Homo-oligomer: A and B are copies of this chain.
Amino acid sequence: MSAAPMPPDALTELRDAMRHFAAEREWERFHTPKNLAMALSGEAGELIEHFQWLTAEESAALSPPVREEVALEMADVLLYLVRLGDVLEIDLAEAARRKMGINAQRYPIEQARGRAVKHDRL
């Protein structure tokens, strides 16, 4: 009896969907790592614009329509990040796990508790 196929990981699924989307539109030549990094940065700028005049409290209590706009800006960042990972052949999930390990070392619990300072100033 064969096992049911494993549902694909969301990052893998999005990577494949973006690859297909770009290929269908013959956009591969635009999708250089340089250009994708720019596009990601532009989307991060759009995301930040939603928050720039809000207090911390307001930013945690977005109205449903703003929250929806924010969700779609975050989606844009994720899609370009996934696409950049694809063209650079970087495994995003693996890199993120690795970075979490580095952060755990850089920010030991005792020293970092309650302090938001860069690791080289802990």
**Chain A interface residues (CB < 8 Å from chain B):** 6-7, 9-11, 13-14, 17-18, 21, 24-27, 30, 32-35, 37-56, 59-60, 62, 67, 70-72, 74-79, 81-82, 84-85, 87-88, 90, 92-93, 95-100, 102-104, 107, 109, 112-114, 116-117
Contacts and interface: CB of A to CB of B under 8 A. Distances in A.
Given A42-B49, A44-B44, A109-B24, A72 B32 contact: no
Contacts of A53: 30, 35, 39, 116-117
* Secondary structure of the A contact surface, majority rule: helix
A43 B62 CA distance: 22
Interface centre among A11, A38, A107 (most CB of B within 10 A): A38
| Tally of this chain's copies | 4
A117 B63 CA distance: 14
B32 A59 contact: yes
B34 A42 contact: no
Interface centre among A9, A21, A96, A116 (most CB of B within 10 A): A96
A33 B59 contact: yes
Contact of A87 (B34, B51, B60, B117): B60
A64 to B, nearest CB: 12
